[in-house]
Structure 1
């Protein structure tokens, strides 16, 4: 089941499509984080201004330096020891779709502890976008049953895992980490 769903999601990502998928936090809208057209589709579906950047998921912190100019050493400890899902906003984003990167050159990255996400990203060999599965301005759905039908109808593939779960998941903690190691919490 897991392998089949990964294969189906991979095909959609490779062709520039959007997937609706479970993560370690809330359900996410995802696409190839290096594909400008795919990222534009996510913004359009969410009805969100592209000046508000989205976050990306990587399968391992070993890949951070591929997408960040200068990774502060403390980032690795923060990722390793964080008990809750943690999104870190880094300066100096690179090798990503231009419409994904914030105006100040930063990008939010999370390393999910979630089998489906881990295996999908590992097989895709590129980061994927992860943004909450809601129309901009609406509440973030805590589980699949709360997702707006417009979102479900607007994606190219809905991953058939965890849809029956009624567990109310929370968005990740967000922290901005400067190259010198200074940090500030954006969302706890």
Structure 2
């Protein structure tokens, strides 16, 4: 079994996988399993009131977990896949623990072949928080990924600049990160 097959098996059993993205290493668990999500909060030492983003493999999966408006399609096509997390109203299928009680969910479509392959083969969203302790430095190399997990997918050294987080409905940038200038220009012009 290849590494992606092993990772899918771990996810199917509520385990945690560290995976590479085009920004930093992510901490992946089944985004529809309360047990797996609680483990992510636990190993990160992240407060339960703080939302956790999810990663999807395509626009169909994005629309299954979030409510979108037609005008947003242009943004999605311009920035996804890529180093941007879009915050959108969550559908009822999304566990409320992921939204931190806000009713909103952060969603990424990573522009990294291993991440996309993992999500595609798992055929469901996974968590997309950085693979570090809450508040610690974002991990760029496998050696910097010290979080407890069942499996790490080695993607070598990554850029280390986290994604830009955008509240798309509110047309505002929540966190500046990779590609923030392009995102800001888009939001100003729309």
Q: TM-score range by the shorter chain?
A: 0.7 to 0.9
What SS does the corresponding residue of 1:100 show, helix, strand or coil? helix
Residue 167 of structure 1, CA deviation: 4.2
Residue 100 of structure 1, CA deviation: 1.1
Gaps of 5+ in 1: none
Deviates more, 1:81-90 or 1:115-124: 81-90
Q: Which residue of 1 aligns with 2:93?
A: 95
Q: 73, 78, 81: which one pairs with 1:81?
A: 78
Gaps of 5+ in 2: 177-190
1:55–1:109 contact (8 Å) kept in structure 2 = yes
Q: 8, 11, 34: which one pairs with 2:9?
A: 11
2:23–2:159 contact (8 Å) kept in structure 1 = no
Q: 167, 173, 184: which one pairs with 1:185?
A: 173
What SS does the corresponding residue of 1:135 show, helix, strand or coil? coil
RMSD: 1.7
Residue 138 of structure 1, CA deviation: 1.4
Matched, 1:175 2:166: yes
Question: Structure 1-normalised TM-score?
Answer: 0.86
Post-superposition CA distance 1:67-108 (Å, at most 9, x none):
11x302233221221285110000133312231123120000
1:20–1:158 contact (8 Å) kept in structure 2 = yes
Count of aligned residue pairs for this structure pair: 175
Q: 46, 67, 71: which one pairs with 2:68?
A: 71
Matched, 1:42 2:36: no
1:66–1:94 contact (8 Å) kept in structure 2 = no
Q: Which residue of 1 aligns with 2:127?
A: 129
Q: Which residue of 2 aligns with 1:157?
A: 151
What SS does the corresponding residue of 1:99 show, helix, strand or coil? helix
User: Which consecutive segments of 4 or more residues in structure 1 shift more than 4 A?
Assistant: none
